[in-house]
Structure 1
């Protein structure tokens, strides 16, 4: 059983604190967002139009994403450690068409957004394609969209003889 705080000796009622909506977050000194915060975002989204983070077990999702990346310049341990604290994630396929590179194969870029405990966000960009010599489907991960787009264009070039 948890102890309850003692009642105030001051009989004068003070102003009642206003309840805080789950999407408003809290002050830097206040508690960090928790699973209820993530559930509220997934159910309602943010009133200011920012994204919800419906994905559960964000740390595991980040670990698996980085593990399957075949590119040597993928984000490293610093990113993995930062995302080990993530509370939720969201995946969006970017709208730019990336299929049909001169009949060479298929290519798409996904943005993986992770909600951090301080309310911040970290995004990784997954380039998924079959533009390999053996046409197998592979995943590359980049820290920014521009790098992922450059890699897609580079992969789309015809192979050199």
Structure 2
């Protein structure tokens, strides 16, 4: 699996154990389910919108920087992050981390928003570690579809 991330002296490309990755890629969306990703520090400039659902059973201390804004804290199971395409982000954690990552093509999101007359209300500001039951459920349904091999 290829997740491109900028490298500098202290930051590396995220390393996944291939047996713990379940990935489904369509033209406009990629879904990655990762279990027990080892502690590390990563940096990336996103070319797609990122939605991430934390799935680690116990709380994990995490430090994130998005768009030059630092956010230290604790990620709890079912916390959701959204980081828009084009944003620079870093993330560091010191315990194994599990998550479901959904990458969305920004042009497709824009086209859908335009079609549904939602462009004026579309907020693409980042947020970290929010709880949203409906989004959690959508993530879980996506995860089940990927596990069953359904596109």
- TM-score range normalised by the length of the shorter chain: under 0.3
TM-score scaled by length of structure 2: 0.21
TM-score scaled by length of structure 1: 0.20
Largest Rg, 1 or 2: 1
Which is bigger in relative contact order (C-alpha 8 A, separation at least 6)? Answer: 2
- Structure having the higher helix fraction is 1
